Structure formats: C-alpha cells, structure tokens
Structure 1
Amino acid sequence: MIRVPFLLLCFCCYLSTAFCQPKYEFRAVWVASVVNIDWPSKKGLSVAEQKAEFIRLLDMHQRNGMNAIIMQIRPAADAFYPSPYEPWSEYLTGTQGVPPVPYYDPLKFMIEETHKRGMEFHAWLNPYRAVFDIRSSSIAPNHITRQHPDWFITYGKNKIFDPGRPEVIDYVTKVVKDIITRYDVDGIHMDDYFYPYPVSGKDFPDYKSYSLYGKGMDKNVWRRSNCDSIIRRIHEMIIAVKPTVKFGISPFGVWRNRSQDPEGSDTRAGVSNYDDLYADILLWLKEGWIDYAAPQLYWEIGHKLCDYETLLDWWSNHSYGKQIFVGQAMTRTGSGVPWRNPREIPDQITDARDTPNIYGSIFFSSNDFYRNTNGWNDSLRNHYYKTPALIPPMPWIDTTAPAAPTITNATDENTVAGNILKINGNTNTEVATSMEVVKSYVLYIANDTVTLGNTPFFISVADTASQQFSFNIYSPQIPVDWNTCYVAVSCVDKENNESPLSNTIKYIKTNKGWMKQ
C-alpha cells in the first residue's frame, strides 16, 4: 500500500477544487437585524459604530469570496431606512420611531458600501411579523398596529398581520414598492415566516377574516390562497415598477413529506411549508412569481428525518426553471446542537455544486463567521471560494449583454516589488452600450486561448465616471509552471449578463520576467 503524505494529499485536493470552481455561483450571507442577531450588534450604537461594524462585516465576507448580502431591513413592520409608512426600528436606535443621530440613511449607506465591493444587495423583509415580542418590544405611537389594530392577530408572543385581510396585501405591497422605487436594491427577499409556525395546542385565530372572506373555501386552502395572493401581487408590482429587481423566498426546507403527498420529499419533518405555514412554494416557482428559492436545508448529510442530500435532490427536481440557492446552516456550529463534523459545510457545498439547478448558497448567519469554527472561514477563503464567481444571470429578466470592452494599453514592468503585468482599457464606445448598466469588469488569465474566459481571475467594480478599467497582475499570482500567459477582460451589467471577451494580450516568460509579445 502506497501512503500519500497527508499534506501532499490536502494540497492536491486544494488544487483540484481551486481550478474546478464554477464560473457562476451565488454566494451570499443572511445578515439578521431582528433582536440584533448580526447587525447592529446591539441597540443604540453610535452612527460611527454602526457604520464601522457594517464595513467590518462586508470586508470579512468579501475576503471569504461572497458576492451578495441578504440584509434584513424590515424585521417587524419597522424600518432601517426613513419610511413614509413605518417607524425606525428599535434594533437600530433602541426605541422604535427614533431616528439615528446624527441623522443618516442606513439603507442607502449599506447599499452603497455593498456595491462598492461588487456585491449584490438583497433587501430582506418579513411580510407578516408586526411585533416580535408583545411583552418587551418597543412600539411607536405611529406603528401600524396602533393605526389599524383590526389588521392584526396575537399568536404566541408575536403580533401578526392577518394574511386574510385584503388591506394587508395592499399595505405590504405598498411598502415593497416604496423600497424598490427609492433604493438601488438588487433583490427583494422574504424568509419562511408566512403564517406563523404552529404553537402547540393553539390554532391561529383568524376566525373573523375567514368568516368575512373565506367564501366557503376549506380553511387551509383559503390560507394558502392568501399567501399566493400577496406573492403574486408583489411580483406583478415589481414587473410594473422595476422589472430588473429579483424576488426571492427562503422557505423552510420541506415543502411536504412524501407521506402527505406523492410529490413530497422522502422526509419526516414535523412541519411543512404547505400544511403549516400555508406557503405553496412550488406554485410560486411554477407560475414564475418568484425568481429564486433558497430553501433552508439546515440538516446534516445523513440526518435520519431530513437528510440534506435527499432534500437537495428534491429541490433540484422541483425548480421549474428558476434558480435554487441552498440555505446553509453556518449557525449549527454554535451552541445548542452543533455539527461536529469538520467536513459538513465543505461537503454540502460540494454536493450542491454537483447537483443540477442549484446555483449557489446563502449562509445563516453573518455573526457565525466571526468564530471561524472548524476553520470554515479559511476553507471558503483559501479553497472553495478562492477564485471569484459571477452571479448567475436570470434570462427571464434580461439577456442583453454589454459590448466587449477593449484593452487599449498592456505593459510589463519590472519594479522593486517584482514583475507586474499592467492591463488598461475602456468600454467599447463604438457599439451602443450604456455605461450606466455596466457594474463590473472581469479579468481572465490562462496559459492557452481555449480555457481563457472559463474562470474569473479578478472582478473589479466599474468606474461609471471614467468608463475605464485597470488591472495589475503580479508575477507570483501566475502559476510557476506556465511559460505563456493570455489575458482578456469582459464586462458585466447589473442583470449579470457578461459581454464577449476583449482583445487578447499574450505574454511569455523570460529570464527577466513576463514580457508582452
């Protein structure tokens, strides 16, 4: 038996993964604001502290290879921005309705900082939660629960919008319309909280709205139709107002068990979207009312009731032409019942990449990355997300790609720091291309022209003012066994359509370093 040294084996595995990473992959993190889970770390921080925390958070995730942030901006009918409909969130200033001092717009700030790093910003809203804890939450005098108390139902410790009331659909749609009209968000995102998770022994007391609007329907069917209606309305509003904004849902990981429905998954979950939360995710995918689903697959590989790989395959087979992102439970590395297998998250990422119709991952939650449990931060940064990835385009939204940019100046320079290949160019203005829609440039290098364009080497944010790009490639970044190096650049628009490659520049290795040929 030949024994391969462990470090050599790891290095070989590293090279294999690093050069086999997908060109297109959604890599995102949920940033929860409710009860200050992720950001801000506590109520009442100064504006300077809030900004510093968010920048630190973004920088960490950018280093880890992420290309999107899912930021919770409306946790409980409140706002992390100046809303004409809802008060400032207590999780920002400590008291609901009190603005930050000195005044600033946190949502505008967060979007700008996220876009500076070439990352997408998806605004995460809870559609129905209005009061997180009726015993302790701060409630402003102008909060919607005080203005229209008849719209709400108390269930457990929460106060919930009654999904059966038409006024609720109108109101939530109006809130979303305001956000996409005034802010440059890339997506609208809603999680798994539709009808609330069941409280043991207590039915959700929506008797009044059912008697008014049920029209003789079975109550469960009626409840699902209410959730269908709000999703359809928001979808139609987005298409009418700003059709380039994506609309995504991150449901509970099980639609239905097979014991409940032949179409269901081979799982034995105690709760399902369809039967308990009244969220028929499959219908929304079939009808095209949502652009992506990010099921929360928070179980490990081999789980006795809800196996990760079983659910991964099930969602892959029920995507209906839309994109599926896997909700990854980074939080299972913390207290409670933590995962102890150091391979769990890496293996889940590998499985997702090997499964059709799976376009990436979203991790819950941001704070869990600070612990770097099992070295998973390092695994992402140095291994699984080592090379950057483009966000997968959605062809049903837009397919028009920008024109190819042009490399106008390429040089090789020997400096004290070493050999540097300098690549400069601009947008091809000879072809009609609006620079306003170009969000980034992508640098590619390869040792042959066949593979050039397969794997992004570097992605830079587009400078809309100058319409120019500039890249520096330091010789140590190029594999030592290469003797020839080809370089090209593409550009990507806000809908993630990539242009053709620019003109190609060839370099050869000499005793004096890399030289342009």
Structure 2
Amino acid sequence: MKLTVKRTGTLVAFALLLAGCTSKPPQSLVTPFPPVAKNPLPTQGKSNEPVRGVWLATVSRLDWPPISSVNASRENRISQQQKALTDKLDKLKNMGINTVFFQVKPDATALWSSKILPWSDTLTGHIGEDPGYDPLQFILDEAHKRGMKVHAWFNPYRVSTNTKPSTVAELNKTLSNQPPSVFVLHRDWIRTANDRYVLDPGIPEARDWITSIVAEVVARYPVDGVQFDDYFYSEAPGATLNDAQTFQKYGQGFASKADWRRHNTQLLIEQVSRSIKQLNPNVEFGVSPAGVWRNRSHDPLGSETSGAAAYDEAFADTRLWVQKGLLDYIAPQVYWPFSRKAARYDVIAKWWADVVKPTHTRLYIGVALYKVGESTKNEPEWTVRGGVPELKKQLDLNESQPNINGTILFREDYFNQPQAQEAVRYIKERWGNSLTL
C-alpha cells in the first residue's frame, strides 16, 4: 500500500516506515507527521553565551563508541559505552566545552530508538541489532545534567561508507528487520558517489524521508539543536553521482543541472527548517558546510580564496540559506591557518561575519583541532609550539568579532592525541576557568 504525500506550504511529510506481513516485502508507508505539541519538549533554552563546542563523530567509531566494546558481552558493552561517554562529557565540561554536536545518523542507521531507521552497526557490529539502551537519550540526560547542550548531528544523504559486497550483504539482511534499511525499502532512491551508497537528492520522496527522520528526533527527544554536515551532493572526480534520469524527470525549467541540484538542496533545508519549527520552535537548526561559499574569481560576492567551494562542489548555496532565514546558525568549516594563501582563516571568517551581519543567523566557526600538532608542508604553523599560537590567533579573532557567536572544534578524539596536548592545556586554561552553561 502506498499513500501519496500532499505538499502544502507548511506541511512536510512525516514517514513512518512499517514492514508488511512476512509473505510480502516491506513497504514504506507515508503518513502526515505529528501535530505540533502544545507543550514542546523541554530544551536548555537559548543563551547569549558564545558556543564552545566540539563535534563527536560516531561514523566508523572515530570518536565513540570504543571499538573494544563492540565484541564485549551485552552487559559489558553497554557499561563500557556509557562510561566512555560520561568520561568524555566530564573531560569536555572541565575544558569549558558547553555544546556537543553528537552524530546520531552517520549513514542510513540510527543511534536512537527509531521507527524509521535500523540501529547503527557502530554500536554492536551489526545493522539493526538493539544495543540495549538508547545512546541519544543517554547523552542528552548526562549532558543536560552537566549543564551542557546537545545538537543532534545528521549526515542527510549517506547510506553507507563503502560499496563492499559485505556491506551490501549486511544491508540486504535488514529486509526482515523492523524497520529495514532504506537500501532495501527504496532501492530506486540509491546511487553511488565517491565510493559510497547515497540517496539521490533530486528525488522528492527521498527528501521527505530525510525530513521525517529529523522530525522523529525533534518530536521525541529534548535535543537543543539539529545540525546537517557538509555532505549534500558528495562527489569526487571519477566518482560522480549519476542523476541523469532524475534530472530528466524533475529538472525541467532549470538553466543547468547545477542550478537544479542547488534547488534540490535548498528544498531539503527549507522543509527540514519548517518541520523543526512546527514541532518545537526552541530547537535550533544549523548546517556546517565547507568553509568557502564561492571564490571571488567565480563570483564577485565570494571570498578572496581559491579551491573547493560549497556552491560549486556540493551544490549548496549556503549564503542564500542564511539570507533567506532558513537557519538559526551556520558553522562553516574553516580548517586553514592565517597564512594559507588559498584559504586564509581570517579572510573566510570575516567574510562569513559580513554575510550574517544583516540577518538573524548566528555564526559559529569550525576550527581544525585535528591539524594541531601535525606537520604539513603547506601549513607548518600547526607544529610551532604545539600549534598554540595559531590556535590562539583563531580563537582571538572569533571572540573579537561581534558577529561570530562561537567556535566548534573538530573533533573530540583529538583531545586525547599526544600531538595536541599543548593545545588541550591552552584550551582548558582559556575556556575551562570561565563560566559555562
């Protein structure tokens, strides 16, 4: 059974994926999404204090959970994973971090009890296996107890991190799960790009499906915010997304496929923004795009930079989203030092500060903690005195600009790396001694 989604000006489809009977393959049932709660779920409330944040990545278990916990017994796995998370929160709190951007959807799996997505294999080693607790609820409880905020971080379009036969087999095994993977429910939405399985952003039903996932979290959990990362159209030379048929079906009236793709990305942002505000206006919505919107060599409105740009590479017109008021905040990833001529930190940060100035969108700058202490030919500054002088210049700029409202460090596990310890001590001295949320 398939129901048609009616797209009105203010109503976004909220999909609950239900399995059919055992004799039939599962089907996707699309229903209107829940009415706005009269009393929205409680959040920590808005604050004028600058965001001092960190991204906590779960894809490929980069920051959490510990790899050693995955093969432990159920009881030991739960206790190891929960202790690792509370230990991290204690350390972050001690360092003055007040906001954690927790990756709840690393691909087409979930780190919460979802009726739409199967459980993430990052927790147990197997897609769809119940981990025995709800990681999103757990981190929300523990972070809020410590006076810290949590933003649910989603990768909207990624289905898997590779296209290996073993990954395909694991995804196909979810056919009998409740719920199964979108890989088996909607195989016609799936494309390959950059050696990954991804959803085709040009398919309206796929955008509705992503919106439904965000709506499920906002409706059920007291998250302080929702964030999308920079993976919209994620391609690489020689590994592009084949959306020729989708463009033929939906791209009439556009001057180019690039314009049509940017339109698709904006439609997703518009409907996600609208659905979040309908469900709980206290929840902030933000995007963390690549640092460069466009280069001035391509557009007089762009920054004095050269290289990859979100507008041209990911087909994300992030500047326009700010101007249209679709975002509560934007957090560009400005992962270069002051001396990097192609993409100077100060040039990009100040460019974004000028973009948000006439709007109500807040600006948080993403800073490359992962580069601190690492020697590279083009960016030797990161090893001078442990990277502290470069880091200090970046934080000084962020805190001196009235239109920059905070800093987010990428990413949490680098607080534990030996090469970053001088910088870690500096951050603790700078942030840890001041009042946090």
The answer for the alignment partner of 2:39 in structure 1 is none
1:58-96 Cα offsets, whole Å, 9 max, x none, are 011000001110000100010011110111101111011
The answer for the alignment partner of 2:149 in structure 1 is 120
1:83-112 Cα offsets, whole Å, 9 max, x none, are 101111011110111111xx2111111110
Find out whether 1:260 has 2:298 as its counterpart: yes
Counterparts of 1:134-153 in structure 2 under 5 Å? 134-135=163-164, 136-137=166-167, 138-139=170-171, 140-141=174-175, 142-153=180-191
Report the Cα distance in structure 2 between the residues aligned to 1:53 and 1:202, rounded to whole angstroms.
37
Give the gaps of 5 or more residues in structure 1. 1-21, 391-517
Report the Cα distance in structure 2 between the residues aligned to 1:334 and 1:99, rounded to whole angstroms.
39
Report the Cα offset of residue 204 of structure 1: 2.3
Report the Cα distance in structure 1 between the residues aligned to 2:297 and 2:423, rounded to whole angstroms.
36
Aligned match for 1:329, one of 326, 344, 368: 368
Q: Quick check: 1:131–1:158 contact (8 Å CA) kept in 2?
A: yes
Find out whether 1:55 has 2:86 as its counterpart: yes
The answer for the alignment partner of 2:20 in structure 1 is none
Q: Quick check: 1:25–1:389 contact (8 Å CA) kept in 2?
A: no
Report the Cα offset of residue 49 of structure 1: 0.3
Q: Quick check: 1:177–1:241 contact (8 Å CA) kept in 2?
A: yes
The answer for the alignment partner of 1:349 in structure 2 is 395
Q: Quick check: 1:256–1:272 contact (8 Å CA) kept in 2?
A: yes
Report the Cα distance in structure 2 between the residues aligned to 1:382 and 1:264, rounded to whole angstroms.
36
State TM-score, norm by structure 2.
0.81
Report the Cα distance in structure 1 between the residues aligned to 2:161 and 2:398, rounded to whole angstroms.
34
Report the Cα offset of residue 334 of structure 1: 6.0
Residue aligned with 1:123, SS: strand
Q: Quick check: 2:328–2:360 contact (8 Å CA) kept in 1?
A: no
Distance 1:95 1:300, change over 3 A: same
Find out whether 1:35 has 2:35 as its counterpart: no
Counterparts of 1:127-276 in structure 2 under 5 Å? 127-135=156-164, 136-137=166-167, 138-139=170-171, 140-141=174-175, 142-196=180-234, 198-217=235-254, 218-269=256-307, 271-276=308-313
The answer for the alignment partner of 1:359 in structure 2 is 405
Find out whether 1:387 has 2:434 as its counterpart: yes
Report the Cα offset of residue 287 of structure 1: 1.0
The answer for the alignment partner of 2:330 in structure 1 is 293
Q: Quick check: 2:93–2:146 contact (8 Å CA) kept in 1?
A: yes
Report the Cα offset of residue 346 of structure 1: 1.6
Distance 1:203 1:74, change over 3 A: closer
Report the Cα offset of residue 266 of structure 1: 0.1
1:306-351 Cα offsets, whole Å, 9 max, x none, are 0001111101101133111010110013657372133111221011
The answer for the alignment partner of 2:119 in structure 1 is 88
Report the Cα distance in structure 2 between the residues aligned to 1:314 and 1:81, rounded to whole angstroms.
37
Residue aligned with 1:340, SS: helix
Residue aligned with 1:367, SS: helix
Report the Cα distance in structure 2 between the residues aligned to 1:202 and 1:216, rounded to whole angstroms.
27
Report the Cα distance in structure 2 between the residues aligned to 1:386 and 1:149, rounded to whole angstroms.
52
Residue aligned with 1:29, SS: strand
Residue aligned with 2:434, SS: coil
Q: Quick check: 1:327–1:364 contact (8 Å CA) kept in 2?
A: yes
Report the Cα distance in structure 2 between the residues aligned to 1:321 and 1:247, rounded to whole angstroms.
13
Q: Quick check: 1:44–1:93 contact (8 Å CA) kept in 2?
A: yes
Distance 1:23 1:225, change over 3 A: closer
Q: Quick check: 1:68–1:122 contact (8 Å CA) kept in 2?
A: yes
Q: Quick check: 2:195–2:239 contact (8 Å CA) kept in 1?
A: no
1:25-46 Cα offsets, whole Å, 9 max, x none, are 1001100000000010224450
% identical equivalent positions? 36
**Runs of 4+ displaced beyond 4 Å:** none
The answer for the alignment partner of 1:340 in structure 2 is 383
> Considering only CA atoms, is the larger Rg found in Structure 1 or Structure 2?
1
Distance 1:80 1:336, change over 3 A: farther
Q: Quick check: 2:194–2:236 contact (8 Å CA) kept in 1?
A: yes
Q: Quick check: 2:51–2:407 contact (8 Å CA) kept in 1?
A: yes
Q: Quick check: 1:323–1:357 contact (8 Å CA) kept in 2?
A: yes
The answer for the alignment partner of 2:103 in structure 1 is 72
Report the Cα distance in structure 2 between the residues aligned to 1:361 and 1:248, rounded to whole angstroms.
14
Q: Quick check: 1:334–1:368 contact (8 Å CA) kept in 2?
A: no
Report the Cα offset of residue 201 of structure 1: 3.5
Of 292-301 and 36-45, deviating more is 36-45
Report the Cα distance in structure 2 between the residues aligned to 1:321 and 1:156, rounded to whole angstroms.
35
Report the Cα distance in structure 2 between the residues aligned to 1:232 and 1:25, rounded to whole angstroms.
26
Letter in 1 for 2:368: A
Aligned match for 2:417, one of 363, 371, 391: 371
Of 204-213 and 29-38, deviating more is 204-213
The answer for the alignment partner of 1:306 in structure 2 is 343
Report the Cα offset of residue 223 of structure 1: 0.2
- What is the alpha-carbon root mean square deviation over aligned residues? 1.6
Report the Cα offset of residue 156 of structure 1: 2.8
Report the Cα distance in structure 2 between the residues aligned to 1:39 and 1:105, rounded to whole angstroms.
14
Report the Cα distance in structure 1 between the residues aligned to 2:289 and 2:144, rounded to whole angstroms.
26
Letter in 2 for 1:340: T
Residue aligned with 2:270, SS: helix
Distance 1:59 1:389, change over 3 A: closer
Q: Quick check: 1:23–1:389 contact (8 Å CA) kept in 2?
A: no
- Equivalenced residues, count: 365
Residue aligned with 2:425, SS: helix
Report the Cα distance in structure 1 between the residues aligned to 2:318 and 2:435, rounded to whole angstroms.
31
Q: Quick check: 2:194–2:240 contact (8 Å CA) kept in 1?
A: no
Give the gaps of 5 or more residues in structure 2. 1-46
1:452-474 Cα offsets, whole Å, 9 max, x none, are xxxxxxxxxxxxxxxxxxxxxxx
Report the Cα distance in structure 1 between the residues aligned to 2:104 and 2:71, rounded to whole angstroms.
16
Q: Quick check: 2:57–2:64 contact (8 Å CA) kept in 1?
A: yes
1:282-318 Cα offsets, whole Å, 9 max, x none, are 1111111110011000001111210001111101101
Report the Cα distance in structure 1 between the residues aligned to 2:426 and 2:86, rounded to whole angstroms.
22
